Amino acid sequence: MTNMQFRIGTGYDVHRLTRDRRLILGGVDIPHTLGLLGHSDADVLTHAIMDALLGAAGMGDIGQIFPDSDAAYKDASSLCMLTEVGRLLTTGGYEIGNIDATIIAQAPKITPFRDDMKHNIAHALGIPSSSINIKATTEEGLGFTGAEQGIAAQAVCLITSPMPGRGAQA
């Protein structure tokens, strides 16, 4: 392990709740009266995870990789974009150690959908579900998430790669 480089990344995303949109979190279509507004499917959980991974690898952010000015990403699946982020990391020589994420929403309750979210994210990245943790919290009615005006998500990740110029440990 002494020849490994460890890198940590953080990500944050927020989208406004609105009528006539689906609520997708971690690639799961969650029954709710409101959905998230955005250029793609507005999956704040997956967006925060992508930003954490890209940040850890020093590869920018999702706005650079998947700009909202590009019609190709209109209503795009964030899980498909996450698969591309995983491919970029693999091509760059990185391996994902773990991902820890928090969804911040007054409603709906996340627990019934957590395992499906973990499965979707793990499948998109080609890593075990055990490498992913997803938590949820409310803000006790405070702020825009507490007033059910939006949903936010935060993520942190650890990625590894061989130390530059040293190669993998034998």
Closest CA to 27 of 90, 114, 87: 114
The pLDDT value recorded for residue 96 is 98
The pLDDT value recorded for residue 17 is 97
The pLDDT value recorded for residue 31 is 96
Are residues 8 and 27 in contact, defined by beta-carbon separation less than 8 angstroms? Answer: no
**Domain presence at residue 16:** yes
Are residues 30 and 136 in contact, defined by beta-carbon separation less than 8 angstroms? Answer: no
**pLDDT, one tens digit for every residue, the chain (170 residues):** 468 899 999 999 999 999 999 999 999 999 999 999 999 999 999 999 999 999 999 999 999 999 889 888 888 999 999 999 999 999 999 999 999 999 999 999 999 999 999 999 999 999 999 999 999 999 999 999 999 999 999 999 999 998 775 444 43
**Domain presence at residue 88:** yes
**Domain presence at residue 169:** no
**Domain presence at residue 86:** yes
Residue 63: which domain range?
4-162
Distance (Å, whole) CA 65 – CA 45: 17
Closest CA to 50 of 160, 154, 170: 154
Query: Is this structure's pTM higher than 0.75?
Result: yes
Long-range contacts of 127-130 (CB under 8 A, 24+ apart): 127/96
The pLDDT value recorded for residue 74 is 86
**Domain presence at residue 156:** yes
The pLDDT value recorded for residue 71 is 85
The helix or strand, by DSSP H or E, that contains position 56, with its residue range, turns out to be helix 44-57
Torsions phi, psi for 164 (to 5 deg):
-55, 130
**Domain presence at residue 38:** yes
The pLDDT value recorded for residue 59 is 97
Distance (Å, whole) CA 67 – CA 13: 15
Distance (Å, whole) CA 33 – CA 111: 18
**Domain presence at residue 168:** no
Domain CATH code at residue 31? 3.30.1330.50
**Domain presence at residue 167:** no
Q: Which residues pair with 84 in a beta bridge?
A: none
Report the number of distinct structural domains present in the chain. Answer: 1
